[in-house]
Structure 1
Amino acid sequence: MNDSPTYPTLGLGADEVLTTTRAVRRRLDLTRPVPRELIQEAVKVATQAPTGRNQQQWDFVFVDDPETKAKAADIWRAGLMAGAPDEHDSAPLPTRMSFASAEWGRIRGSLGHLVQHLHEVPVLMIPVVRVARREELDSVRGQAHSWGSVIPAAWSFMLAARERGLGTAWTVAHLTYEREMADLLGLPFERTVQVALTPIAYTIGTDFKPGPRADDANFSHWNRW
């Protein structure tokens, strides 16, 4: 990147950015506006993320209009109340975290905070992948190609946001009502697929630490499962 950031950055090292970019919910500053120019700096970083065949078939839709945010937040809440498809499956959800743990209790509490205040967050972002037709995602390969472009870009945006003192969180509850969100935002439903909804705000403090995770040795498999 040749252009220096216009806004101050935290000066974090690469490993620190990668290990302290948390899902921020309680510590989003709901009172401080986020300049569009600052968000565009993070988008500039995101454009350098890996993208399948260099097709760059992703977009970010940002929402800062209060009325539109309120309606988008209502759609998200409705999706959250509907529950995730996994919750209705008889098979147990694969996880390394116990849902009886104190950590999950904290996550649930912070999610409750977001439910109450999502419409007050300065900016909402909906990452979108462009498709010729939705059937492209019917195969694992098609999904991998599409998600493998938009998700790295979104994560790069979130890392760049962290370096600039902004907090983000990856949420997907509204996708139960993806068509309703598409109608609200004027998205062509058959040619775009929404991936998430991400709140964006300055954080209350910047002293985030690495989160609790399973031992890294448990994630590595050599030659066989």
Structure 2
Amino acid sequence: MTELLPLDPDQLLTTTRSVRKRLDYDRPVPLDVVKEALEVALQAPTGSNSQTWHWIVLTDPELKQKVADYYAQSFSKYYAAQQPRDETGKRVASSAQYLADTMGQVPVLVIGAIYTGGDLPEGNQAGVWGSLLPGAWSLQLALRARGLGSAWTTLHLAYEKEIAELLGIPAGIHQGVLLPVAYYTGTDFKPAPRKPLDSVLHIDGW
């Protein structure tokens, strides 16, 4: 059992950030630690207790680089359409660009996917993704508790079919998130600025 950081639940929830520039690409990540965190993630809620999620863990340098190349292509198109104006937006854009440029060097990539049996349903898809994404967030929390950073990314989905073919993911399985995983440098994570609660809170109706 990996030794856990001394974080209370509120600290863990409020200081688990998307880590990009502070991922340590030189420090190996033991597969056993990732599997340990995944065991925690499997306790997340899933509709009808279906547990139809799948977790594709990539450690092979060639496979990681191919996925990273698809991600970089998608990021390039996405970034070209963005115009960050304030300082926060510029910092996030710089951080995201760095990750896109270096993702192939990240020690471990984890793709969260879910069985749908075919095409995704039309309209509101909360019933599908609600059975995968809580597990992915739980994985990020479990990784953080073990001193590992990650970042929530989805831009690879522009090439979902190509990546599925590359990794042998069968038909009827849809990818939902890509998490680069590595130990991180520094320890000064803190809560991020957020809108005031009252600006987004609605009680007994809108």
TM-score normalized by structure 1? Answer: 0.87
**Counterpart residue identity of residue 103, structure 1:** T
CA distance in 2, matches of 1:165, 1:206: 9
Tell me the CA shift for residue 113 of structure 1.
1.1
Aligned position for 2:153? 171
Tell me the CA shift for residue 196 of structure 1.
1.6
State the secondary structure of the residue aligned to 1:68. helix
Tell me the CA shift for residue 24 of structure 1.
0.3
CA distance in 1, matches of 2:76, 2:98: 15
Percent identity, aligned pairs only? Answer: 43
Q: Does 1:223 align with 2:201?
A: no
Task: Answer whether contact 1:165 1:206 (CA < 8 A) is retained.
Answer: no
CA distance in 2, matches of 1:122, 1:206: 19
Tell me the CA shift for residue 197 of structure 1.
1.2
1:119 to 75, 99, 104: 104
Tell me the CA shift for residue 81 of structure 1.
2.1
Tell me the CA shift for residue 99 of structure 1.
4.0
Task: Answer whether contact 2:46 2:132 (CA < 8 A) is retained.
Answer: yes
Change beyond 3 A, Cα 1:83–1:199: same
Aligned position for 1:79? 74
Tell me the CA shift for residue 164 of structure 1.
0.5
CA distance in 2, matches of 1:77, 1:179: 16
TM-score normalized by structure 2? Answer: 0.95
Q: Does 1:196 align with 2:183?
A: no
Tell me the CA shift for residue 16 of structure 1.
0.4
Structure 2 unpaired stretches of 5+: none
**Counterpart residue identity of residue 195, structure 1:** G
Tell me the CA shift for residue 25 of structure 1.
0.2
Task: Answer whether contact 1:133 1:191 (CA < 8 A) is retained.
Answer: yes
Q: Does 1:102 align with 2:87?
A: yes
State the secondary structure of the residue aligned to 1:19. helix
Aligned position for 1:67? 62
**Counterpart residue identity of residue 131, structure 2:** S
CA distance in 1, matches of 2:31, 2:63: 17
Alignment of 1:203-218 (within 5 A): 203-218=184-199
CA distance in 1, matches of 2:169, 2:74: 18
Tell me the CA shift for residue 219 of structure 1.
1.6
Alignment of 1:13-24 (within 5 A): 13-24=8-19
Tell me the CA shift for residue 100 of structure 1.
2.1
**Counterpart residue identity of residue 153, structure 2:** T
- How many aligned residue pairs are there? 205
Q: Does 1:50 align with 2:66?
A: no
CA distance in 1, matches of 2:203, 2:84: 29
CA distance in 1, matches of 2:181, 2:187: 14
Tell me the CA shift for residue 184 of structure 1.
0.9
Alignment of 1:5-20 (within 5 A): 6-20=1-15
